[in-house]
Amino acid sequence: MSTRYDDTTRTPQEYEVLTGGGAEAAQVAKRGISRRQMLRRATGVSLGIVGAMAGLGSLQMLYPNLEGQFGAPITLRNKSVYTPAEQKEMALDQKGMFYEQSAKSYIMHLKSGGTTQFLQSGVSLANSMEAQDWLKDGDTFWLALYQVCVPFRDDCNSFKCPCHGSHYNIDGEYIDGPAPRSLDRFTMSFDSSGNVTVDTGKLNQHVERPDVGTRVLRLPYVPVCSAQ
């Protein structure tokens, strides 16, 4: 009468003889994992690592380092270049309002007093300016307004879109037209040398249409501004 042995009672040395491998292979065989299964698993892990590395390379190609490019902080000229102007005296690229193509921004540098008239004061004004990314520097104020397709018009003392006719004040606040909100704006700052830095990766799209109580600046001094 033959005797049936339970495989679980065999030692690794016995499996070594049966499988033709070492003690490690025997132990693996005892757990029911064949050499072919091990090879398949090793191949799968290797392919997974290669795939992950390829994916990372593709992401780096699709999303390259944006340092110094649009979508990241961009350092412009020294703030002394941007001559301030009162609200009524803005002149594009001369004083008060400057276009910077690399940052796709209009840089407003507003001088207080004279024809500049704020419609709010105290804490209310400070809160509105903070929410709209104004930057105070002594007795002048700065904004970096995203250009979109809206040019600044010296003759209108404001921004006027030639396409849909939307109209915005010098600080980007909505005046009239079909636009859903005021102009978007970027966060800006000065570096240790006094250069203007615009963070084009931080776009504020939450400045709503102002009403009588929330408008920051008085309306433009030019009562009518045609679309062209």
CA distance 104 to 227: 22
| Closest C-alpha to 161, from 170, 148, 145 | 148
Question: What would you report as the CA-atom Rg of the chain, rounded to the nearest whole angstrom?
Answer: 34
Domains in the chain: boundaries: 7-62, 73-204
| Closest C-alpha to 184, from 69, 106, 92 | 106
Q: Across 5-9, 46-50, 124-128, which has the greatest mean pLDDT?
A: 124-128
* pLDDT tens digits, 74-130: 999 999 999 999 999 999 999 999 999 999 999 999 999 999 999 999 999 999 999
Mean pLDDT computed over 14-30: 51
* pLDDT tens digits, 155-182: 999 999 998 899 999 999 999 999 999 9
Handedness of CA 32, 36, 37, 39 (dihedral sign): positive
Element (H, E) at 98: strand 96-100
CATH of domain 73-204: 2.102.10
pTM of this structure? 0.71
Residue 212 confidence (pLDDT): 86
Mean pLDDT computed over 38-51: 59
Q: What proportion of the chain, given as a percentage, has pLDDT over 70?
A: 69
Q: What angle do CA 174, 197, 185 make, to 5 degrees?
A: 15
- Give yes or no for residue 21 having a pLDDT over 60: no
